[in-house]
Amino acid sequence: MTTPDPNADTPVAGSMPALADGSQSQRSVVNASEVVDASLPQNWSRTRRWSIVVVLSLMSLMVSMSLVINTPAATTIADEFDEHDGFLSVFFITVPNLGQIISPLYIGPLSERFGRAPVCHVFNILFIIFTMAGGFSSGFGPIIACRFLAGACIFSIPLNPAITGDLFAKHERGTAMSLASMIPILGSAVGPIVGGYVTQYLDWRWTFWLMASFTACLTPLMAVALKESYVPVIQRRRLKKEGRSSQRTSPPSPPKYWKGWNMASVKAILLLAVRPFVILGSSCVAVLMTLYLALLFGYVSILASTLATIFQETYSFSESQSGLVYISLTVGTLTGVVLCTFTLDYFFVHGLFGKRREHGASPRPENRLIPAIPAMVAFPAGLFIYGWCLESHVHWAVPAIGALLCGFSLSSSTTPIMNFVVDIFGDRAASAVAAVLPLRYVAGAFLPIASPYMYDRLGYGWGNSLLAFVLLSIVPFIFWIIVQPRRKAVAQTAVTST
C-alpha cells in the first residue's frame, strides 16, 4: 500500500473524486488549471474562518474556567458536607480529567463519521446539563459524578486542533492554533479568581450555575458561526445530494441512520473508535509524545489543584487572595503561547538553524517541535524554585514565579506537539489527537490525588524535586526527536489502513 505524503496540504481544489463511506479520504492538489471550490473550508473567507476559531475558543474558555473555578471552594465544600477526606477534596477538582480520558476516543472518531458541527452541538448541550446539575448536589459523590460526566462531554479539546487544521493551510496553521489557544488559557486564571469571590460572597453552588449559564449564552452564537469543516463529510454530503438530484424518478430510499442501523454502520463506528489505539500502538513517537504531555499536564494539574490550599495554609491567604495566585500560572502560559505564535510557522519553514531548503522539498513535520526546546529547561527549573521556596517559606512571589515557568513550559510544549500531530496525520487529525490525549488526562486526574501524600512524606522541596527528576529523564529523548527526526510512515500507514 502506498503511504500518503504526510506533508500534503488539506484539499482546497474544486475537483473531488468519489469518496466511499468509511474509506480512505481523497486529497486534491491545487494547480493553476483547477477551479477553486468555495465549499471547502480553506477557501472560505478569512473572516468566516476566524469567526469559527474565536467562537470555539470562547467555548473552550468556558470549559477551562469550569475545570478550576471550584478550586478555592474545596475547603468550604468540605466543611458544608462535613467531609474532610483529603482524597475527596482533591479528586472532585481533578475528576473532569478522568472524563476527558475517554471523550477523545469517541468524540474525535464520531466527528469523522458524522461531521464536526453536529458532534460539537450535541456534546455542548450535554456539558451544560451536567454542569448545571453539579450545583444541586448534596454531597461529594454527586459533585464528582456530575463533574466526571461534564468532562466526558468536553468537545473543544479533542476537536479544536482538528477544526483549525481543517480551516487553515500548513503555512498559517501554526499562528492560528497559537492564537486560538490564548483565549482558553485565560480560563485557568479567571476561573479561580471568580471562584474565590463567588464562594466568599455568594455560595459555592453558583460556581456551577454561572458556568452553565455563560456556556448556554454562547450556544446560539456557536450555532450561527459553526459550519461543517471536515472535507470528507462535505464530499459525502455533496455526492449524496448529487445522487438524489440525478435520480429524482427513483423511489426514495429509507434514511440510513434513523430507521435501523445495519452491520456496516456498526462496524464502521467501531473501527473509528479503535483507530486512536492503532495510531498510538503503531508509532513510537506518538507513544513518547503521549508520555511527555502526560507528565507536563499531570504536573501542572498538581499545581492547579493544590495551589489555593497551599497558599492558604503557608501564607494565610483568604479564598479570594489564593485565587489571585493563579494569575502567575496563566501569565506563564500566555507567554508560551505568544512564543509559539511568532516561532511555530518560522521554524516549520526554516528549521532550527534557519537553513534554506532544497527547491521543492517539503518542510519536516518535526520542525513544529522546535519551540518546545526552552520548556525542557524551564519546567524542571520552575519545579525546583516552586518546591524549595515553599519549603523555606520564601516570599510568596518567588514560588509564584516557579508556577509561571511551569505554565510557560506547558503551553510552549503542548501547542507545538498538537501542531505536529495535526500535520502528520492530516484529515485523520481528530483520531490522532485522541490517541495522544487519554494518558494526559489519566495523569491529570490521579497525580494530584497522590500529591498530598507525597508532600506529607517528602515535603514541598524534595517532592517537587522528584517530579523534576522524572521529567528530566525523558527530556533527552524528546530533544533527540527534534534534532534527528524520523519519518512517521508507520503511524501514517496505520491511519490510512484503518
Contacts of 129 (CB under 8 A, 6+ apart): none
Mean pLDDT of 368-389: 88
| φ, ψ of residue 218 in degrees (nearest 5) | -85, -15
Q: Which residue has the higher pLDDT, 35 or 343?
A: 343
Asked if the model's pLDDT at residue 65 lies above 90, the reply is no
Note the pLDDT of residue 310.
84
Provide the 3-class DSSP secondary structure of residue 36: strand
Note the pLDDT of residue 20.
41
Looking up cell 503511504 gives 3
The amino acid present at 464, given as its one-letter code, is: N
Note the pLDDT of residue 128.
92
Domains belonging to the chain, first-starting first, are 41-238+266-497 (1.20.1250.20)
Mean pLDDT of 297-317: 82
Looking up cell 489527537 gives 433
The amino acid present at 451, given as its one-letter code, is: S
Interior angle at CA 496, CA 363 and CA 474, nearest 5? 60
- Let me know: does 344 contact 419? Beta carbons within 8 Å: yes
Q: Which residue has the higher pLDDT, 461 or 319?
A: 461
**How far is Cα 5 from Cα 489, in angstroms, rounded to an integer?**
9
- Residue 13's DSSP bridge partners are 36
Structural element, H or E, at residue 265: helix 263-282
**How far is Cα 403 from Cα 229, in angstroms, rounded to an integer?**
37
CA-nearest of 67, 19, 14, 113 to 300 is: 67
CA-nearest of 291, 279, 300 to 412 is: 300
Note the pLDDT of residue 446.
79
Query: What count of residues does the chain have?
Result: 498
Mean pLDDT of 399-410: 89
pLDDT in tens, 101-156: 778 778 877 887 788 888 888 999 999 999 999 888 888 888 888 889 998 888 88
Looking up cell 482533591 gives 90
Note the pLDDT of residue 448.
82
Mean pLDDT of 470-487: 76
CA-nearest of 151, 181, 152, 187 to 164 is: 181
Asked if the model's pLDDT at residue 332 lies above 90, the reply is no
pLDDT in tens, 174-206: 667 766 766 776 777 678 888 888 888 888 888
CA-nearest of 495, 25, 5, 6 to 283 is: 495
Asked if the model's pLDDT at residue 292 lies above 70, the reply is yes
Note the pLDDT of residue 491.
41
**How far is Cα 361 from Cα 365, in angstroms, rounded to an integer?**
12
